[in-house]
Amino acid sequence: MCADRTDVPTARPPGRTGMFEPLFDALDDIHESDSPRVTGVAPATVVDNLDLTGAGRVQIRYAWLPGVEPWARVCATVAGDGSGVWFMPQPDDEVLVAFRNGDVREPYVLGGLWTMTSRPPAALPTDSITKRVIRTPVGHEIAIDDLVQKLTLTHTLGHAIEIAADGITLSVAGGAAKISLSASGAVTITGTRSVEVTGLDVSVKAGNGLTANATRADIRAAATCSIQGALVKIN
């Protein structure tokens, strides 16, 4: 519901003109109409994004219009029945809204707005030229860097998958374990603790040489154990 006319401020702060002029015009109109109208777009703050109707809406608040907190439909790159791109604004996010027929009680969220206190996920000014980043509020991230030709998928704990021009690396936080696939065809598996390979049948084949080195080595079989070669040397 819209605020009572007596609850809506009419004083226009000095110097608040320019892009805010339509908003203050709307505040004046509220005293003359039960259906306030705003031409253009306006900023708003997300209050809630738990839409129990399942319609993908968020509740917003206008700092310039106290008492009016409507639920707004959210624009998406793709939106279909049970499909689309799902990135919902979070509570306290600032968003830019437009209005159906100019009615402030029927808004559409066009997108989010960064501020001096709510910063973008990219750290450097030059990142806007070379990087594309998707980061969740808890820190999960997908980063594409055109400068170094690398795509990185990072878990908030530090686990990561990196796809670069020279190969692919899968690593856990702190470097405790890593799998590297180089563009030249080399494969490296490293771990600071045990490395285990398990399967119903496990085969290891080498086109040239096969080397196994360890301080201690055990070869065991529950049934037959065969060692074959044109020449077999032990010690």
Specify the pLDDT at position 25. 62
How far apart CA 27 and CA 173 sit, in angstroms, is 53
Return the DSSP state at 89. P
| 127-191 and 5-113 share a CATH fold | no
The verdict on domain 127-191 having CATH code 3.10.20.90 is no
Q: How far apart are the first and last CA of the chain?
A: 89
Specify the pLDDT at position 37. 80
How far apart CA 110 and CA 24 sit, in angstroms, is 21
List the chain domain ranges: 5-113, 127-191
Specify the pLDDT at position 103. 94
User: Are 170 and 178 a contacting pair, CB within 8 Å?
Assistant: yes
User: Are 12 and 24 a contacting pair, CB within 8 Å?
Assistant: yes
How far apart CA 14 and CA 73 sit, in angstroms, is 33
Assigned CATH topology for domain 5-113: OB fold (Dihydrolipoamide Acetyltransferase, E2P) (2.40.50)
User: Are 107 and 68 a contacting pair, CB within 8 Å?
Assistant: no
How far apart CA 217 and CA 208 sit, in angstroms, is 22
One digit per residue, the tens of pLDDT, for the chain of length 235 reads 333 333 434 444 555 555 556 656 655 555 455 656 888 999 999 999 999 999 999 999 999 899 999 999 999 999 999 999 999 999 999 999 999 999 999 999 999 999 989 999 988 888 999 999 999 999 999 999 999 999 999 999 999 999 999 999 999 999 899 999 999 999 999 999 988 899 999 999 998 998 989 999 888 888 998 888 889 888 7
Specify the pLDDT at position 178. 96
pTM: 0.74
The number of beta carbons lying within 10 Å of the beta carbon of residue 204 is: 7
Rg over alpha carbons for the chain, rounded to the nearest Å, is 30
The number of beta carbons lying within 10 Å of the beta carbon of residue 10 is: 10
Burial class (CB in 10 A: 0-12, 13-18, 19+), 125: exposed
Specify the pLDDT at position 96. 98
